[in-house]
Amino acid sequence: MKDRTQRMPSYKVELSIYERDGWHCRFCQSPITSKEARKKMHLLLPMAARWGKANSEKHRGLSILESTLDHLLPHSRGGDNSLENLVAACGPCQFGRGNFTLEEVGLNNPFSRPPINDNWDGLRRLVK
């Protein structure tokens, strides 16, 4: 097993996973947006693109498109930060599973199908 002391991978590794997975949730295949694009939208349109710490302070549409990393074997259950254990996920898919394994909730391994690789870039074009 790889070193588990670091809870999440570096930002560079995180971006490489989003790019590998085509900026789509590997579970439901919904497009996801980069954190930088979401921050820029909030800065330019604070009332329309609400984003705060509490769920009640977040725009629900942006929350659904939130880019997150999900450990296939949850970190709390011994999962590491290897590229084989991390996938891009939308907010609802990542947080909905909690610390249950894929088998416990009846989900197929998202690596069993190829990622969607279309022209979607997570809205990173907004921050370049």
C-alpha 84/C-alpha 86 separation (Å) is: 6
Task: List, for the chain, all residue ranges whose pLDDT scores fall below the cut of 70.
Answer: 1-5
Reported as a single tens digit per residue, the pLDDT across 32-59 is 999 999 899 989 988 888 888 888 888 8
**Domain assignment of residue 92, yes or no:** yes
Q: What is the pLDDT of residue 5?
A: 61
C-alpha 114/C-alpha 16 separation (Å) is: 16
Q: What is the pLDDT of residue 2?
A: 53
Q: Are 66 and 92 in contact (CB under 8 A)?
A: no
Q: How many domains does the chain have?
A: 1
**Domain assignment of residue 102, yes or no:** yes
**Domain assignment of residue 20, yes or no:** yes
**Domain assignment of residue 28, yes or no:** yes
**Domain assignment of residue 115, yes or no:** no
The per-type count for the chain, helices as H runs and strands as E runs, is: 5, 2
**Domain assignment of residue 4, yes or no:** no
**Domain assignment of residue 70, yes or no:** yes
Q: Which domain holds residue 56?
A: 11-107
CA distances from 123 to 31, 37, 110 (A): 10, 6, 23
**Domain assignment of residue 112, yes or no:** no
Q: What is the pLDDT of residue 65?
A: 87
Residue type, 91: G
